Amino acid sequence: MTDLLEDVRSFIHPSTIVYTRRGPKEICDVCPGDEVVAQTGTFVAVAVVHRKPYRGLLLDIGGRGQVHEHHRLLQADDTFVQADELRAGDVLRAVVPKYTEDIPELTEEDCLLYGVMMVSARVDKDNVVTLRHNMLTSAAEETLKAGGVNFLHDQGAGTLVFMSPFRREMLLDESWRMRFYAPLLHLPQTKLRKLQQGLWYGSMASSDPADGDRCIAVSDRALAEAIRYIFLRTGTDLEYDGEVLRKPPGPIAEGSTGYVDRKIRSIDREEFSGELVDLETAGECDEERTYMTNIGASHNGGGKRNGSFAIYIEPWHADVFDFLDLKKNHGDEERRARDLFYAMWVPDLFMERVQSGSQWSLMDPSACPGLPDAVGQDFKLLYEGYEASSRWVRQVDARTLWNAILVSQIETGTPYLLFKDACNRKSNQSNLGTIRSSNLCSEILQYSSPAETAVCNLSSIALPTFARAEDRSFDFEGLHNVTKVAMRNLNKVIDINYYPTPEAELSNRRHRPVGIGVQGLADTFCILRHPFESPEARQLNRDIAETMYHAALETSCELAAEREAEILEYRQLASIEGKSKEIKRQINHILKRTRFTKEELERRYCPGAYDSYFWNGGCPVSKGILQFDMWDVRPSDRYDWDALRGNIEIHGVRNSLMIAIMPTASTSQILGNSECIEPVTANVYSRRTIAGDFMVVNKYLMRELIDSGKWNEQMKQRILAAEGSVQGIEEIPEEVRRIYKTVWEIPQRALIDLSADRGAFTCQTQSLNLFVGNPTPKVLTSMHFHSFKSGLKTASYYMRCQLKAKIQQFTVDPALAKVEKAAKADSAALACSRDNAEGCLACSA
């Protein structure tokens, strides 16, 4: 399965030629630090060389090289296409290298002679040159005389013999084979053309650019690829058949656009067994993450992010106990798959059996069909029917399985926990069929089937942008407007996009789902001075969610109305008989701008709504049922929901789903915000991303301490000694300490309650991480059942636990560390003591 995940990268044959600063190399010989030609025409360093064992078919692209079917190549229209989508006659695009570096002491005459020698001379170990061909002798004599080189002319043999004016390493490799000296590949254009002229001379070929039948005989591949690079630099693409380099038919392309287009002669499939290779460059933009091969410009397949995969299973499955062990750090290595991610898709019936301590039956899905597609009461009737007929594999105490789930969460942070019935019952795609899983980050809930693969288009909004510190207010109007802009942009992404499979495109265009999320919620609370678990924070959180949902729905309805106007205009024009040129022009103008689905053209009511809007009796929104209605929640009076319902009844909505609270680790780092909906993990901490590790200080706390005159070296040391906590530092006012509690000091019930409040306005779901300093099955049970009873769809994404062993803090005064450790221990004892009569403050168990 791990190998399967790596197939998302695109790989190519190890013998494929890559153009580097040191000359053409087989890609298998490229090392990190080598510089390769990027799409910009300049050199960019290689960061990583990816290698992958592979046995199967490769695609041979016109005899130039072999690539994996997923490898992406640049087309003439400047878009990338997977190799398996190419056909003979398609045109690929090669980059004209721009890098130039002169060798001042090398004259144009030297370049001419060097070119001649490369293809028609024999050089021995003593650097003695024997130049063949009678027709070359007169021109060569003049060149040698001009350079003051002594030579011997054997007229009978038709050769010139002389000591080479070039150093031996400029002509021969370590195996005494003719090789181009790498610096000569980067000469200025005038010298480069003299070099090319010498190559034509040396091959007994015409130097007339109008001659379409020129060729250079060269059987050494490395030398041939160097010559190809030299001609590519002037916009000429030579074809090579293993013996001869030949100019393709037609006029020479001068490469003025920076590209040379190559028509694919043929595409064949070849068996391969061995190691494929791909490069990951250190480029900062897309063009610099593309590298040039002798096939064409290749998209950087390695990318910045590895492929990942989450597997969902329901607790009635007979293999569920083995499933829960797959990520554990101990046990039989042959029965572990730690690179994968795991999730439980839990029906309500299982939670009820756990609560009552009843028996639970494990079943074989092939012997008990229909369970994955059954939801709610239908699932209960089918499941209990299989139990009554003894079609189970074995039976266990429901709490035994529940404890196995919790132990896995404590040890590995997974499985994710999602409630199947809530996910389906509260979905606007419930008219399509049963949703059988979420995604890698547990925030996407969409219908999939063998015919269509669910796709979502995501963006997140930075909430601190709308927080006003001066009057401690929040700009809801600004958030509403930005959400509307994001909604329109994401809707466009659906139409203007690259789809890796037809099934993905089918799903995305049918249902048009998007997911708008947030980042910086904790920052927003800090700016407005709301403790995370305060009533003020809870109300603000709810108002933010309501604002975004209203803006998204309103915009989607507007988009449906605009689409409806386009459809009606097209229908009207298309229905005209005996169309004039002007009418035809108008129709063509519309069809150039957009395309219509069969559903849109045939539907009479709400034609601008997404295609599956009325399927199978219609989605909930088509019946006036919005997300908060499914939660039995009444929205505030901030927005006119009745007016919006009325508009939706007339026009429908353009998108089936709109809000999804996703993780935002990388984008939060870019914008300097806290991640997603989470509290800060510490007020001073190290943040690890794909770009490296960074020390982060809570800027709001630091500013507050500076303004109050409390920030100094000793204060910094005390916060470091307390591992980023300020709760034990009495010099900081209690009001400030409450605002800057870390996630380990905030009751997890508060996170769950905030999530439930958002959930009423979140039509997909939320990546809800939970944080428990001292996890036990009893603590986790309390949290998960609170989530279940609160109606959450996602009970937990990752279960985060604190390390038992702490890293030695060498920069912290040992005396300070001892004091802060004692203060923190007192706080922890109060927060999470099972003997605390008022209940656990960390999880409210």
Is residue 524 within 8 Å of residue 467, measured between CB atoms?
A: yes
Residue 249 carries which DSSP code?
S
Phi-psi sector, 647: left (phi>0), alpha (psi -120 to 50), beta: alpha
Taking the C-alpha atoms of residue 406 and residue 779, their distance in angstroms, rounded to an integer, is: 10
Dihedral of alpha carbons 544, 546, 551, 556, sign:
positive
**Across-strand partners of 648?**
none
Find the catalytic residue in 294, 300, 439, 541: 439
Residues 6+ apart with CB under 8 A from 536: 528, 530
* Residues 6 or more apart whose Cβ sits within 8 Å of residue 219: 242, 243
Task: Give the Cα separation of 563 and 647 in Å (integer).
Answer: 14
**Cα separation, 475 vs 527, whole angstroms:** 13
d(CA 106, CA 92): 35
Strand partners, 345: 418
Please tell me which residue in 111, 368, 423, 441 is annotated as part of the active site.
Answer: 441
* Distance from C-alpha of 526 to C-alpha of 510, rounded to nearest angstrom: 42
Query: Which residues on adjacent β-strands are paired with residue 178?
Result: 172
- Cβ density class 221-239: b for 16+ within 10 Å, e for less: ebbbbbbbbbbbbbbbbbb
Instruction: Please check whether residue 226 is in contact with residue 185, taking contact to mean a CB–CB distance below 8 angstroms.
Output: yes
Alpha carbon distance 228, 222 (integer Å): 10
Residue 649: active-site member? no
For helices 134-146 and 189-202, the axis angle rounded to 10 degrees is: 140
Q: In what helix (H) or strand (E) does residue 407 lie, and over which residues does it extend?
A: helix 398-412
461 SS3 class: strand
Find, among 743, 754, 773, 772, the residue nearest to 683 by Cα.
Answer: 743
Which of 443, 533, 675, 723 is an active site residue?
Answer: 443
Q: What is the dihedral of CA 161, 167, 169, 172, to 10 degrees?
A: -10
Query: Which residues are CB-neighbours of 370 under 8 A, at least 6 positions away?
Result: 382
Is 105:143 a contact under the CB 8 Å cutoff? Answer: no
Q: Is position 730 annotated as part of the catalytic site?
A: no
Per-residue b or e along 366-405, where b marks 16 or more CB atoms closer than 10 Å to that residue's CB: eebeebbebbeeebbebbeebbeeeebeeebebbebbebb
Residue 290's closest CA among 472, 470, 80?
Answer: 80
Q: How many CB atoms lie within 10 A of CB 770?
A: 27
Catalytic residue numbers read: 439, 441, 443
